[in-house]
A and B are shown apart, each in its own frame.
Chain A
């Protein structure tokens, strides 16, 4: 009997620990939200619970999700990127100008636009670190630069803001397969990229030292520096990661539509941030999840498509979005205050 008593106490402790672990995961709120939205539209519409509906949700969610994961990593690292949306259109236009107007081979245009993406990311990162200005302001500047330069060069070189590329892309089967094929059941290839990227980012965050560093530079950059974390390098890498993700999405768009349009992506930078916040990211950094950001993107598209399936006005979408965002932000704030409760 004296042996049994402590064992029983131990068991209870472990169980309480498990429940607490699930509850305090950053993506917990978004999972509940996703299930609720799914059930709601499955009941409210006749065919939301179908393969067709699933591909209608997953396909647009994939590019949104890829960006949201990159933005979530950056936000965990304590920074913002408002230029990420405009960059998608800008990089697509770069591809188009390089192939249709400069006559470069497609593969070279892809490499050059990727280099431009890396350059923009490094510019954002260096500016934020050197000037110590909030990244909100720095990348707002980059947003206008990217948008203005894209529009200006597009009109200057080609005289148009939309460029069709069917001729240039006629013989690039591999790139078309890689970026624009539909291998299975109407689910396009970006969805597979999205799943792989989410898994990779989650592994990076939770199981590698870089993940530790990302959390620490967002949580408390000074103490991270004090124990030898290369704070500046981590932050620059996170900005570059966002820009490179924008390049990937630009490739998906260009090869799928065989055209580039300069306005693509403008305005969606806030959708990335909102998806990341719904997924548990704190606006102040140091806390969040890659899976959460992907679930945030999923919720986004479930609502958007769900409204279409239910034949309701799309106007309701923004209302829904606002409520989701506020709920998520409140939940995050509560989690954060709990985590920092004993600060003295």
Chain B
């Protein structure tokens, strides 16, 4: 738009100059006529009767310098500047022309008049030229432009402003839409709000919503399948486990006993895997729809869950304790999922710690956030593996303890759905693992 304006400015300048010329040419063209009035015939030749005072008046001009020249046909100069350039074509007497020219390295405007003094023959006509510099014209052109362009500029700026805000307002809902969608978690498939969007975009949004709906249904079908499959596996596994337990009690010889023990261990692993898969299907983001974060007492939940674990831990000669307030610690959360998370974390600590280890659950409140820490002095997780362990089915290489690889994935999904953060660290002062979950 600026380019347009600049070119318009240039054009306007030329036009303005042209009009300025028209304006001043009128009076310039009069000047040769004035001079012609002063031509007298002396001794059969034309000559100029221009007293000094008259000349001074003639030549005076506030802004420009005026030159003149009166010459006979034979090129003899009667008066004025001798080197004023001649026009290319000399017209018949009576015709005056005006043209641009250069005189003494200045641009000038020259009016020429061919004049035949009365009583003389045509070959005795004289050429009267008056030239003036262009200052007046330039100034007028400048003024024209200024008066024209300034409002033009203002108008343009105003128009630009109006268009800008107009477009901005029009695009604002789109921008909002864009930000809203971009801010979604990568599993959020809820429909996009159609109500406040501009009409042009509505068909697109409606299609997007339909697409997400189809996607959601497909994912739901998949989830259901996993959940159903896991359930279906449980009864045969129960049969397997029961028969193995019975057989172990009756085992006749060591070899049979050994094999049965292996079968039993494998059955346990399978059972654990099935349980974890089911748990994961329950807490996966996407099943988020059923998630409601309500105020709950995390302190009580932690204490109660830890109490449930104590007997099992004692059987393994480990020490499980709680550090933290005995009062309520309120956060917004889903009790079932949080219990699952705590169970998984304590279970990990129990399985990865040798006999005689200490496991501590700690609850701290600071700066409006609540941190739950499960700390043990067992095997620990190498720093390089601390991000990878959250992946599904990931097991640290050379990990001797059997496990499904899903425990921390479940924990991470629950943490995410509560908008909390989780980190794995080394405890202060001793080796082992410290898992911290911080709630906003």
A and B associate: no
